[in-house]
Structure 1
């Protein structure tokens, strides 16, 4: 059996060893995920888009995460990565005090918002710390507005 571990660094090695002793393979592409309750991840396993190498990325480096169909992209200050998990699963593992969903397809790091530009159609356009823009859709407009006290 293969499983993916989404747990904190402090418990990762201990749990990994215990599972491997029982014949369970730890694989980041596995369908089954073992995660801690009441704990949020501090890293995310992603692939470099061009080199196709797996990287363990600190969630503190994430500027935003965006999905295009079945493809989930993780944008950092300088690099674009591919995530192997679905956006809704990743969102459940991220600390809600640090990350905010702003549309069905985008999650932002709250501290990486540089500029908030309102539009006439009850939306906001956000300029992130890496210079890229993302939209707060109407469905998430009031959640975003309340969080930032606008």
Structure 2
């Protein structure tokens, strides 16, 4: 059985890595569970599908990511895009870039928050800049508080 691998690298190195991995027996695929990421690769955009067209979305425009079943969506102030990346890949890509997971199915941009409202049972309600209301669950609340600077 051949393993599927997704490559995240600069355009210049992508072909080189693809040839090396394919010659080693790997299958290159965007829906792979294994990600090969170039160490010094700086990615600052995602590619999103909106009404049969792909658009490039810069990190600064992203409010949050949300999973519905196997589909992952990226939300901006006024649009919702379908993207190929999985939540765990997004978490890896955006590590230390002002994004944090707030529950099992959502990752938010710290700068996309409009209002933070403490709730009962260690939960936190977030009103995003597009007025969507998201919930930080108890499991993620202490990490979120530390991330936001409450602790």
Give the TM-score range, shorter chain.
Answer: 0.7 to 0.9
Helix, strand or coil for the counterpart of 2:63?
strand
Spell out, residue by residue over 1:81-136, the C-alpha distance to the aligned partner (whole angstroms, 9 max, x if none).
01112111121111324111111111011111110011122111101112111100
Contact 2:100 2:107 in 1 (8 A): yes
TM-score by length of 1: 0.79
The 5 Å alignment of 1:1-150 reads 4-7=6-9, 12-18=10-16, 28=30, 33-37=35-39, 39-48=41-50, 51-150=51-150
Deviation by residue 1:54-91 (Cα, 9 ceiling, x = unmatched) = 22322221100011121111001111001112111121
Q: CA distance change for structure 1 residues 136 and 21 in 2, over 3 Å: closer, same or farther?
A: closer
Paired residues of 2:110 and 2:148 also in contact (CA < 8 A): no
- SS of the residue aligned with 1:102? strand
User: Gaps spanning 5+ residues in structure 1: where?
Assistant: none
Q: So what's the TM-score if we normalise by structure 2? A: 0.78
The Cα of 1:4 is off from its aligned counterpart by 4.4
1:138: how far off?
A: 0.4
* Structure 2, unpaired ranges of 5+: none
The count of residues paired between Structure 1 and Structure 2 equals 144
Structure 1 distance, partners of 2:120, 2:33, is: 43
Q: CA RMSD in A?
A: 2.8
Give, in whole Å, the separation in 2 of the partners of 1:28 and 1:54: 15
- C-alpha spacing 1:122/1:38, structure 2 compared with 1 (3 Å): farther
